[in-house]
């Protein structure tokens, strides 16, 4: 490519070189990437094609362990994703279909970024052998998921995504404990993960909203809000008895907080007659809640240090839920949880008086 560039420039070909580099499709870590972008401008590629180009570049960078270094490429992808055909319904649907096809790739990029983050954390804390073991355990978990991602079922992928939230929380906790020793801007990189979570949610939400026609948006929102509140009741009851010092509990609580914030924003959008936006927000809120529930349900497997506490909690929760159903008050609790929460707390105190 360098030889081609020199020859072309010597010959006075001012546009051929960038277009040629663009056709070869070099990545942002290549010396000729500037010509790649110039070639795109010369060809005037549309917003959707730019979106696709940036995602392909970023996915390849993440595969090579450079995703954290090139945050700007992901930011540009997100910008283009929001700009694609806002007034063209069919073009928008086509863009959403393409993004849905990328969903497995988004999950894989999230895993690879988490691995890269853990590797950097390991480097920064190389002089702390006791911490090295903790970080290496997390890297091992991530590696297993990376290797098995392509063959994983949709259900397993959802579990992996939820577990990744827990792993990220544990890495953050390690970084917080040793903040003074961390030389690289670890916490700034968490913005990248947040962006990918938002992309993941947006694709799912767009696909969901596209199945509902505009006249039915209001009914769709009311139904989704009802489903959210029922799920929130169950997750909050589960959290009441969860081991207090376990990272899994903290991760689930954080997801619930985000879900409630999104629920409130959805309600505000609905009041402002922005029903489509409200529908998207409430579906995003529900996705966070589902991740919280998965973490709580699988914590006895995912947190070996708290296995005994989580196993006891899970056994007691299953018994309590069964009793509430037999007593005929389960549905009432789901619909009117505030009236029953003290009753639930008391039941947990009786079953797990020394929890945490």
pLDDT of 45 higher than 80: yes
pLDDT of 355 higher than 50: no
Domain annotation covers residue 16: no
Structural domain ending residue among the three candidates 211, 230, 260? 211
In this prediction, residues 97-107 reach a mean pLDDT of: 81
Residue of higher predicted confidence among 258 and 356: 258
- Residues 6 or more apart whose Cβ sits within 8 Å of residue 96: 203, 206, 207, 210
Work out the pLDDT band at 11, boundaries 50, 70, 90: very low
Domain annotation covers residue 10: no
What per-residue confidence (pLDDT) applies to 4?
Answer: 45
Asked if residues 129 and 82 have their Cβ atoms less than 8 Å apart, the reply is no
Same domain, yes or no, for 150 and 284? no
Same domain, yes or no, for 207 and 225? no
| Segment among 196-210, 255-269, 300-314 with least mean pLDDT | 196-210
Same domain, yes or no, for 263 and 192? no
In this prediction, residues 88-107 reach a mean pLDDT of: 76
Same domain, yes or no, for 116 and 222? no
Same domain, yes or no, for 175 and 230? no
Neighbouring C-alpha atoms within 13 Å toward the C-beta of 156: 9
Domain annotation covers residue 7: no
Angle at 182 between CA 198 and CA 199, to 5 degrees: 5
Q: Which range marks the domain in which residue 169 is found?
A: 23-211
Same domain, yes or no, for 230 and 176? no
Residue of higher predicted confidence among 252 and 205: 252
Domain annotation covers residue 52: yes
pLDDT (tens digit per residue) in 320-336: 999 999 998 898 888 88
- Residues 6 or more apart whose Cβ sits within 8 Å of residue 183: 124
Same domain, yes or no, for 47 and 185? yes
What per-residue confidence (pLDDT) applies to 88?
Answer: 56
Same domain, yes or no, for 185 and 145? yes
Per-chain mean pLDDT for the chain: 85
Number of structural domains found in the chain: 2
Structural domain ending residue among the three candidates 180, 211, 242? 211
Work out the pLDDT band at 13, boundaries 50, 70, 90: very low
Asked if residues 119 and 62 have their Cβ atoms less than 8 Å apart, the reply is no
Structural domain ending residue among the three candidates 171, 191, 211? 211
Q: Give the containing element (helix H, strand E) for 30.
A: none
């Amino acid at each position: 490519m360098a030889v081609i560039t020199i020859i072309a420039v010597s010959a006075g070909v001012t546009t051929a070189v960038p277009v040629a580099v663009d056709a070869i499709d070099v990545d942002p870590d290549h010396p000729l990437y500037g010509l790649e972008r110039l070639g795109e401008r010369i060809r005037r590629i549309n917003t959707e094609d730019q979106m696709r180009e940036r995602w392909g570049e970023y996915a390849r960078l993440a595969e090579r362990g450079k995703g954290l270094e090139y945050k700007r490429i992901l930011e540009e992808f997100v910008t283009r994703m929001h700009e694609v055909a806002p007034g063209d319904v069919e073009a928008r649907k086509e863009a959403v279909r393409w993004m849905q096809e990328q969903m497995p790739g988004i999950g894989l990029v999230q895993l690879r970024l988490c691995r890269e983050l853990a590797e950097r954390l390991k480097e920064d804390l190389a002089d702390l052998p006791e911490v090295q073991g903790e970080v290496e355990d997390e890297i091992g978990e991530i590696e297993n998921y990376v290797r098995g991602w392509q063959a994983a079922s949709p259900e397993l992928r959802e579990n992996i995504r939820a577990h990744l939230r827990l792993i990220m929380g544990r890495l953050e906790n390690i970084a917080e404990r040793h903040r003074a020793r961390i030389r690289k801007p670890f916490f700034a990189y968490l913005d990248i993960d947040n962006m990918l979570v938002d992309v993941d949610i947006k694709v799912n939400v767009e696909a969901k909203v596209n199945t509902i026609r505009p006249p039915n948006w209001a009914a769709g929102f009311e139904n989704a809000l009802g489903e959210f509140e029922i799920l929130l009741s169950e997750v909050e009851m589960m959290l009441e008895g969860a081991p207090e010092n376990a990272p899994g509990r903290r991760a689930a609580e954080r997801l619930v907080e985000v879900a409630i914030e999104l629920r409130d924003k959805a309600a505000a959008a609905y009041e402002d007659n922005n029903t489509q936006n409200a529908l998207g927000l409430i579906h995003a809120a529900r996705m966070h809640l589902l991740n919280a529930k998965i973490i709580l349900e699988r914590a006895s497997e995912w947190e070996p240090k708290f296995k005994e506490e989580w196993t006891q909690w899970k056994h007691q929760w299953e018994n309590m839920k069964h009793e509430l159903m037999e007593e005929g008050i389960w549905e009432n609790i789901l619909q009117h949880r505030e009236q029953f929460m003290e009753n639930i707390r008391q039941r947990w105190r009786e079953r797990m008086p020394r929890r945490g």
